[in-house]
Amino acid sequence: MLDKNKIGHEFPSFTAEIEKGRLRFFAKAIGETNPIYTDEGAAQAAGYRTIPAPPTFMFSVDLEGPELLPVLKLLELDLGRVLHGSQTFEYLGQVYAGDRITQQSKIADIFDKKGGALEFVVQKSTYTNQNGELVGTAQQTLVYRN
Amino acid sequence: MSDIRVGTELPSLELAAITRSTLALFAGASGDHNPVHIDSDVAKQAGMPDVFAQGMLSMAYLGRMLTNWQPQAKLRRFSNRFAAITHLQDVITCSGKVVELLEQNGETLARCEIQAVKASGEPTLIGEALVAIVRGRYDEF
């Protein structure tokens, strides 16, 4: 069983730069053709400060930390048994190319179902830009198959 | 006034069949380098028939559907659960509809049920989005 004493654990905060080229690559990889996601002029004409990060890109910010998926080490998880159960984003502002986004994340809950055959780890994250504005939050649930 | 009401369907988005290239590009672009999505040997060691799609790839497709419909600046909340694995050559279609209009923080929001579904009809992602439809936080929209 996973260590429920880790509920409330806060991971080290880190800051990631949102690179314009990376956003263009991401747009290409998901087949996005709306020019606001690749062209600054089109983004500005649509009312954005510059190229916005698409709605799910905050998950990619999570992966920019000093350690890939630090939850694996904290809870001694075997990556091959981890499934992504659910994902939620809330938008309080916009993430843009050139921003420096600080991510803070913690373990919000750990629980099990089916007599411990499946365990669930809920992680909550916040995203704050270089101006100190909270631009979004995320919650993800990982499912661990025992 | 907006013509968005309960029952309004979001324009659906049909994707090309998932290929190894799709998965490799998304691994690089998203930063999710989990080899089970890009290396057949690792996938087979994990008991899978072959590499399979990142869940966040399909969530990004759902995001495309949402921002094709309404500007991203109107998106307030976006969530889904991952219901089934997407395999190579699966053709995914994203769809959704408005199921409720509600007031929150001085805005009118459309609550939309959204899903990604395989050609077989099996849903892979089932979720929900809240989209501002009348008074936005961003006046220019």
Q: Evaluate whether residue B35 is within a structural domain.
A: no
Residues B63-96 have pLDDT tens digits of: 999 999 999 999 999 999 999 999 999 999 999 9
Question: Which CATH number characterizes residue B85's domain?
Answer: 3.10.129.10
Where does the pLDDT of residue A68 fall: very low under 50, low under 70, confident under 90, or very high at 90 and above? confident
Q: Evaluate whether residue B39 is within a structural domain.
A: no
Residues A24-37 have pLDDT tens digits of: 999 999 999 999 99
Task: Give me the architecture of the A4-18+53-145 domain, per CATH.
Answer: Roll (3.10)
Cα distance between residue B110 and residue A108, in whole Å: 28
| Chain B touched by A113 (CB under 8 Å) | no
| Chain B touched by A80 (CB under 8 Å) | yes
pLDDT tens, residue order, chain B (141 aa): 468 999 999 999 999 999 999 999 999 999 999 999 999 999 999 899 999 999 999 999 999 999 999 999 999 999 999 999 999 999 999 999 999 999 998 999 999 999 999 999 999 999 999 999 965 444 444
Chain B: nearest CA to A85, how far in angstroms?
Answer: 5
Closest CB from B32, B82, B138 relative to A63: B32
Select the residue from A25, A56, A124, A140 to test the B interface by mutation, using most B Cβ atoms within 10 A.
Answer: A56
CA distances from B77 to A6, A121, A132, B73, B140 (A): 28, 21, 21, 11, 20
Chain A: nearest CA to B86, how far in angstroms?
Answer: 13
Domain ranges of chain A: 4-18+53-145, 19-51
| Chain B touched by A44 (CB under 8 Å) | no
Termini Cα distance of chain A: 8
Closest residue in B to A81 (Cα) is B46
Q: Evaluate whether residue B48 is within a structural domain.
A: no
Interface predicted TM-score (ipTM) over 0.90: yes
Chain B: nearest CA to A22, how far in angstroms?
Answer: 7
pLDDT score recorded for residue B1:
46
| Chain B touched by A14 (CB under 8 Å) | no
Q: What is the mean pLDDT of chain B?
A: 93
| Chain B touched by A45 (CB under 8 Å) | no
**Dihedrals φ, ψ of B40, to 5°?**
-55, -35
> Is A91 in Cβ contact with B78 (below 8 Å)?
yes
Restricting to B residues 13-42, those with a Cβ less than 8 Å away from any Cβ of A are 15-16, 22, 25-26, 28-34, 36
Structural domain range at position B85: 9-18+54-132
Residues A83-136 have pLDDT tens digits of: 999 999 999 999 999 999 999 999 999 999 988 899 999 999 999 999 999 999
Cα distance between residue B50 and residue B37, in whole Å: 8
- The predicted model gives A28-56 an average pLDDT of 97
> Is B59 in Cβ contact with A87 (below 8 Å)?
yes
In this predicted model, which residue has the larger pLDDT, A114 or A138?
A138
Cα distance between residue A26 and residue A37, in whole Å: 9
Residues of B in contact with A54 (CB under 8 A): 60, 63-64, 67, 72
Q: If 0-12 CB within 10 Å is exposed, 13-18 middle and 19+ buried, where does residue B118 land?
A: middle
The residues, any chain, with a CB within 8 Å of residue B136's CB and separated by 6 or more, are B73, B74, B107
> What are all long-range contacts of A8-13, with beta carbons under 8 Å and residues at least 24 apart?
A8/A106, A8/A107, A9/A74, A9/A106, A9/A107, A10/A104, A10/A105, A10/A106, A11/A65, A11/A70, A11/A71, A11/A74, A11/A104, A11/A105, A11/A106, A12/A65, A12/A66, A12/A70, A13/A102, A13/A103, A13/A104
Domain count, chain B: 1
The residues, any chain, with a CB within 8 Å of residue B141's CB and separated by 6 or more, are A47, B71, B73, B74
Where does the pLDDT of residue A67 fall: very low under 50, low under 70, confident under 90, or very high at 90 and above? confident
